[in-house]
Copies of this chain bind each other. A is one copy, B any other.
Amino acid sequence: MPIVTITITREGSGPGRSAATAEEKAALIKGASQLLLDVLNKPLDATFVVINEVELENFGWGGLPVPEFRRQQQAKKA
């Protein structure tokens, strides 16, 4: 009966993409379900996976919306 919830920001993993692709989501679902089978012996059919996509401006890190946080981190490195 495991439930795995994966919260990610809505953005592409490469150029020309604005969100996770269907293939990437399928890979997350497959991998998470397999993990529960491998580690706790939970049958695949007993696991639910929910992918929760969050707009970048709705996700905060370091006290800032993620786009600003990343700019700040980049500036620190430069």
Contact B31 A38 (CB under 8 A): yes
Contact A50 B58 (CB under 8 A): yes
Main secondary structure of the interface of A (DSSP, over half): mixed
Contact B31 A35 (CB under 8 A): yes
In the assembled complex, 30 residue pairs joining A and B whose CB atoms fall closer than 8 Å, in A order, are A2-B6, A2-B8, A3-B48, A4-B7, A6-B36, A8-B42, A20-B40, A22-B57, A25-B58, A26-B57, A26-B65, A26-B68, A27-B38, A28-B36, A28-B60, A29-B64, A30-B60, A30-B64, A31-B31, A31-B35, A32-B60, A33-B60, A33-B63, A35-B35, A45-B61, A45-B62, A47-B63, A51-B59, A51-B60, A53-B58
